[in-house]
Amino acid sequence: MRSTVNLILMGPPGAGKGTQATRLCAELKVPKISTGEILRENVRDSTKLGHAAQGHMDAGQLVPDHLIVEMAMERLDRPDTHSGFVLDGFPRTTIQAQSLADRLGEQGRAVSGALLIEVSDATIVERVAGRRVCAQCGHSYHVDYDPPRNPNRCDDDDALLIQRDDDKAEVIRRRLTVYHEQTSPLISYYGERNLLHRVDGTLSPSQVYRQIETRLAALPS
């Protein structure tokens, strides 16, 4: 597999972006940049950004572009991203995608590819209802498909597993609507730039990962 990539993982909430991004980053030895995780940290730490973001997140809506773009750019300016990165959950709007392309372009960098993990809405609703995350480290489980060894406890640090507020059934439906309205235009955005690579997200995590490896091997170096 290539050792340097500037990669975007796209797909609806619950498609498995976080799981795949974690594995990919460990393999490629590049940082994973998850805007959702950075936002949740800010909410936990009660920062100004956390306060500004929380209402939007709880409602299943996107956090305004200017806040997200500033936050993501600050992260991408750090030197550890210069040998590659995997973006999980960013960009989510055309404005964000354009800002990303502009900033990377100014720095002589570019997006290598956007991997779209495709899963139907019905499957997402079923999956997300069973998702539990570690309140401490963020490790994600599924009550049926990927249960922890001890009920409700994280395998890694034994902390309590919780259901994210925005994973509740009614909020997930809203997040899917937001995805179709605001994020799916990025499919054509990256498609037109020959950067889009589709992956079948209904398969097992290992099978999805194998498809990702195949797509990465085919990227121009």
- Residues of the shown chain interacting with ligand AMP in the complex, contacts defined by CB under 6 A: 13, 35-36, 39, 56-57, 60-63, 68, 89-92, 96, 166, 175
* Annotated active-site residue in 17, 40, 75, 132: 17
- The closest alpha carbon to 33, from 80, 66, 1, 94, belongs to 80
Q: Is 17 a catalytic residue?
A: yes
Bridge partners of 34, per DSSP, are 88
In whole angstroms, the minimum distance from the beta carbon of 164 to ligand AMP comes to 8
Q: How far is the CB of 173 from ligand AMP (least distance, A)?
A: 12
Query: Which one is catalytic: 32, 75, 131, 132?
Result: 131
CB of 221 to ligand AMP, least distance (A): 28
Q: Residue 2 or residue 43: which is nearer to ligand AMP going by CB?
A: 43
Residue 164 appears among annotated catalytic residues: yes
> Residue 171 belongs to what H/E stretch?
helix 169-178
Active site residue 174: no
131 tagged catalytic: yes
Cβ pair 176, 122 in contact under 8 A: no
**Using an 8 Å Cβ cutoff, are 220 and 195 in contact?**
no
Tokens linked to 71: 């936050």
User: CB-wise, 36 or 148, nearer to ligand AMP?
Assistant: 36
CA distance 196 to 137: 31
CA 195 to chain centre: 17
Q: Which residues are catalytic?
A: 17, 92, 131, 164, 175
